Structure 1
Amino acid sequence: MSTIVDARPRGNYVPVDCPECASPQEYQIPPTYIGTLRVRCSACKAMFAHDAARRSNNASPNPPPKASKRRGGIGTDANPIDMAYYDVLGLEASATSEQIKKAYRRLAIKLHPDKNRDDPDAEEKFKQISVAYQILSDPKTRKSYNEFGQKNGGGGGAEETQIDPEEVFGQMFGGTRFEDLIGTISIGKDMKDVFQQQHEEEADDIVMVNGKPQLSPEAQARRAERERIQNEEKARERAERVDKLSANLVRKLSIFTEAAKSPDDPLVGPSFKEICRLEAEDLKEESYGVDLLHSIGYTYKSRSAQYLASAQFAPLGWFHGAKNTFNAVSEAVSTVRSALELKSVFEKLQAAEQSGVSPEELRKLEEQAAEQGVRTLWKGAKMEVESVIRETCDKVLSDPTVSREKRELRGAAMGLMGDAFISIRAGDSGPSDEYVRIETAASKQRDAARAGEKAKGP
């Protein structure tokens, strides 16, 4: 004789006491879900929110591990980070717009509350398919959902909400008003690509080689293909960006080139420079506006000087070219040095966390890392901007469709615009090279010190 009991699938069960009847319960958190997660008591059928009830006194001394949270990184259209909305509609991530519509229509008829009066969950189910359809039927919201999942739900809490790096860095350095001059800075997109690659690689096959985990040959081939596609996409975006900026620059320079009779026209030159200065005075109020204007201005001026010198006497152009190359290398070295300093700060922070320093000391290191991080990002953005502007200037000044005289006028106008941008100075916000766009205790102390100095007067 023997007694038989039914087993249940192993999972992460959360033991709680029902808030209504106090009976011991347990439930399993689904890997993904829509909106707020609620639990129905198996005894009294009351509903309560996930984590709203106290943990059961009958829970085992070794509680189950926490439910798995959303996958790391940033998802893609082919491999979304969260599948809850697709699961509700019974769809794959590759579903077409037509398939999404058909699935919603079929489920809306089947689950409509008027046809399911005996089902207490009918209204909630109908709301879920409606929300899923609303998100997935719009290409823009579907793309955002594929990349970042739900802002609430999806197996994670509000602390897991992710922010689009492209939006953050687009606003941090210049914002949209600088796009006519520099385009969209690619740091945010590059960071998103890294997160997406991390997410894709989590699904790759891992094999053990000499006791060490490695990607399988198939996974390595997939990674190589992803990198090839990304590099081709970056090259295409860079070319489009330079073409668009070149057209914008030609249009701005035409105010001078269409009216001036010579590169040093005494009437048109000063008025054109003043027009550029007024535009720059307006742009300087944007985030990192003065710094960007100076970077653009110095690049315009150096490319103008190199072109005009070459037009007069080739060796002079070579000299300016060597000078520009040296400046570019210096910027690269400065950026690398800043990155190494950031690495050092993070290493100190990691060592401090492991050694158990005081919360106050740990907070100071975190603030130091945050400020150094922003400085490093700015140097990287500045180097990218100057590289794109150099390429744009060269395209404008070597345009074979216009005459040599017209190109010389463009070169002169470019120099005047550079001078106008360089002449811009920061306002009352203080030296822009010291200003970090995050609030920390250190930055607040600097602001207070500057305010005190102004109050003292000369």
Structure 2
Amino acid sequence: MSDKGPSSEPLRLTSGADDDQGNEPKIFGDLLSTRRPKDAAAGLSSGLKNVGKGVLGGLASLVVMPIEGARTDGVKGFAKGLGMGAVSAVAMSAAGIGTGIVQIGRGIANTPNAIKESMSDRVWDETKREWISYSLPAEAEELLNGANAEESGSKGHVKDTVFYDRLGVAPTATRTEIKKAYRLKALALHPDKNPDDPTASERFQQLGAAYQVLIDDQLREAYDKGGEDALGGQKFIDSSQLFELVFGSQKFESFIGELKLLSLTKDMQEMPDPNAGPEKQRELYNKSQYLLEKGQKQREVRCAVNLAAYLEKYISDTTETKEHFRQFLESEAKDLTSTGFGATLIGVLGYVYEEQGNMALGFKSNVAAGLGLTKMAKSAHIASNQMKVASSVFKSYNVARKAQTEMAKAEADAAKVAAESGATAAEGAAGTAGEKTASGGAAGAGGEQQTRSSTDSARVGGSAAAEGIAMKHLEDSLPTLVETMWNITVLDVESTLRKVCFKVLKDSSVSAEIRSQRAEGMRMMGQVFHTHSKPFADGLLEVTEKMKLAVPHEPKVPEDGEI
């Protein structure tokens, strides 16, 4: 495939489909890959996968076809299916091995060009399967132009202005005005800054809910037309509110964007109707996956634009040791570490920034980076984090299963007690129900009422006991759940930041000298942030306590003798 010259392009966004460029043939549907491999390593990986897929597909045909034939046509069908399965198995295995060899050969053939292109700071576009000169401004223009466009406020009559009043803006406010008003209000209403106000947490949450509606075009339109009732009672989660409550500073959002856990939570709130047909379910699922992918790409580009602007302070610092930039970083770090978890998160940022800066600078940074040892350490670090996620998810599963078992037992015991209470009351009512006098009839009706009352009381008591068990397990399992959420967040943040750094350091819209200075500034950011970081355990207790305060508790009923 011929190169198209050193044009600066964004990395293309796709809907997630693994489309081939250049009208390459499809073999057995999408089973075997024939996409152009980047280099020998990519060709080997693709080739081995094709061989494995071909052999496994052939074995599956050899097993499935005879069984299907026997089901439809007995022994005769089995024999026929066996023959067809054998032919299919040979064909698929041969196709897998053949395309595998071809992919390996193509990868080897493409390696010299890959070395040349990578040395010229061009990057591999996974979608187009070709080398391009990447441009951060071009990608930002493509992905963020519409997303960040200024929208005028409501043009017509709005039914309800409560959400606008909470932020202190008019219904005609633009997105920028809403964002600015929210940040000012959030700083003033933050619970940590109002420790003596028992309503501070509730007002802060109400502010976040209003902002989440007004900053979303579709939700804002629905609210303007029908008020809060038109929102269907949805519970809105705001990333800015999350950063304020958990990490202590909204500034983290400019570095790492909206966490995937938060995006997935929002996506779950909009799950399709389970009664919808399979085609509709698949359509909605595909749309959801596309929007998640698009949101993640926008997140990466937005954070890359922010980081590039941040590093301009390093480049413009004319002091010999970049002391002004270092002082700026120290001030920023103190703000970011206002909470225990903020000090934990800044350590993650510091690790990735220093890692990526060292890798980009190579021997200019240190010998280990020049020899590629930093890249090896990165792979080991990622594997370790993945093991932590797997371990904590398993622990969370066990905690949830234990809670579910105990709740089910409590509910079963409650049902048994209710049945026994109903039976006892029914026996008492039966004695009076047989009397034929008017007073006896009244007594029978009263007996039935007593039966229902006893059964209802037992059922309510059992339900309360089950809820009590659930609340206790929730409080006891909070550290485990927080640990799981944190480990997943670390993987998400580190993966996102590496892509962000890649965009900033491979941006061909600036000179090689500027990219090198960006790497130096990135490394300094990592070093300073790392010195302000604290271990995970320091933030765990603080966040666990905050989450416990958010769990509703029933008021304790005084026992006899208590005041």
TM-score scaled by length of structure 2: 0.44
> Does residue 257 of the first structure (1) align with residue 329 of the second (2)?
no
1:289 aligned residue: 342
2:407 aligned residue: 353
Shift of 1:318: 3.1
Query: What's the CA shift string for 1:100-149, capped at 9, x where partnerless?
Result: 98xxxxxxxxxxxxxxxxxxxxxxxxxxxxxxxxx9xx954555699997
Q: Equivalent residues in 2 for 1:17-56 (5 A)?
A: none
2:289 aligned residue: 231
Shift of 1:304: 0.8
2:543 aligned residue: 436
- How has the CA–CA distance of structure 1 residues 318 and 254 changed in structure 2, closer, same or farther, with 3 Å as cutoff? same
Counterpart pick for 1:201 among 257, 273, 277: 273
1:181 aligned residue: 255
Measured in 1, the distance between the counterparts of 2:523 and 2:317 equals 16
Counterpart pick for 1:274 among 322, 327, 335: 327
Shift of 1:418: 0.7
Q: Structure 2 counterpart of 1:394, which letter? A: F
Q: Structure 2 counterpart of 1:344, which letter? A: N
- How has the CA–CA distance of structure 1 residues 146 and 382 changed in structure 2, closer, same or farther, with 3 Å as cutoff? farther
Contact 2:386–2:491, Cα closer than 8 Å, also in 1:
yes
- State the percentage of identical aligned residues: 20
User: Larger C-alpha radius of gyration, 1 or 2?
Assistant: 2
Contact 2:222–2:230, Cα closer than 8 Å, also in 1:
no
Measured in 2, the distance between the counterparts of 1:398 and 1:441 equals 45
SS at match of 2:322: helix
- How has the CA–CA distance of structure 1 residues 425 and 321 changed in structure 2, closer, same or farther, with 3 Å as cutoff? closer
SS at match of 1:401: coil
- How has the CA–CA distance of structure 1 residues 439 and 307 changed in structure 2, closer, same or farther, with 3 Å as cutoff? closer
Shift of 1:276: 0.6
Shift of 1:291: 1.5
| Number of residue equivalences | 283
Q: Structure 2 counterpart of 1:328, which letter? A: I
> Does residue 382 of the first structure (1) align with residue 490 of the second (2)?
yes
- How has the CA–CA distance of structure 1 residues 145 and 193 changed in structure 2, closer, same or farther, with 3 Å as cutoff? farther
Shift of 1:374: 2.6
Contact 2:340–2:539, Cα closer than 8 Å, also in 1:
no
> Does residue 331 of the first structure (1) align with residue 331 of the second (2)?
no
- How has the CA–CA distance of structure 1 residues 173 and 386 changed in structure 2, closer, same or farther, with 3 Å as cutoff? farther
Q: Equivalent residues in 2 for 1:97-176 (5 A)?
A: 140-141=219-220, 143=222, 150=229, 162-166=234-238, 169=242, 171-174=244-247, 176=250
SS at match of 1:288: helix
Q: Structure 2 counterpart of 1:181, which letter? A: F
- How has the CA–CA distance of structure 1 residues 220 and 441 changed in structure 2, closer, same or farther, with 3 Å as cutoff? closer
Contact 2:358–2:369, Cα closer than 8 Å, also in 1:
no
Shift of 1:413: 0.9
TM-score scaled by length of structure 1: 0.53
Counterpart pick for 1:418 among 526, 530, 543: 526
Q: Structure 1 counterpart of 2:352, which letter? A: T
Query: What's the CA shift string for 1:29-69, capped at 9, x where partnerless?
Result: xxxxxxxxxxxxxxxxxxxxxxxxxxxxxxxxxxxxxxxxx
Query: What's the CA shift string for 1:70-128, capped at 9, x where partnerless?
Result: xxxxxxxxxxxxxxxxxxxxxxxxxxx99x98xxxxxxxxxxxxxxxxxxxxxxxxxxx
Shift of 1:176: 2.8
Structure 1's unaligned 5+ residue stretches are 1-96, 102-134, 155-160, 205-218, 444-458
Measured in 2, the distance between the counterparts of 1:148 and 1:380 equals 36
SS at match of 2:308: helix
SS at match of 2:338: coil
Measured in 2, the distance between the counterparts of 1:259 and 1:329 equals 38
> Does residue 303 of the first structure (1) align with residue 356 of the second (2)?
yes
2:303 aligned residue: 245
- How has the CA–CA distance of structure 1 residues 297 and 148 changed in structure 2, closer, same or farther, with 3 Å as cutoff? farther
Q: Structure 1 counterpart of 2:237, which letter? A: P
1:222 aligned residue: 280
Specify which structure has the higher proportion of helix.
2
Measured in 2, the distance between the counterparts of 1:291 and 1:192 equals 25
Query: What's the CA shift string for 1:145-195, capped at 9, x where partnerless?
Result: 99997499x7xxxxxx65223456454444533222111223222112123
Measured in 1, the distance between the counterparts of 2:509 and 2:371 equals 22
- How has the CA–CA distance of structure 1 residues 382 and 227 changed in structure 2, closer, same or farther, with 3 Å as cutoff? same
Measured in 1, the distance between the counterparts of 2:363 and 2:293 equals 29
Shift of 1:369: 2.6
2:512 aligned residue: 404
Structure 2's unaligned 5+ residue stretches are 1-153, 158-213, 414-464, 551-563
Q: Structure 2 counterpart of 1:326, which letter? A: A
> Does residue 366 of the first structure (1) align with residue 474 of the second (2)?
yes
Contact 1:291–1:433, Cα closer than 8 Å, also in 2:
no
Q: Structure 2 counterpart of 1:342, which letter? A: S
Measured in 2, the distance between the counterparts of 1:378 and 1:148 equals 36
Shift of 1:362: 5.5
Contact 1:170–1:184, Cα closer than 8 Å, also in 2:
no
SS at match of 1:165: coil
- How has the CA–CA distance of structure 1 residues 255 and 283 changed in structure 2, closer, same or farther, with 3 Å as cutoff? same
Measured in 1, the distance between the counterparts of 2:349 and 2:245 equals 17
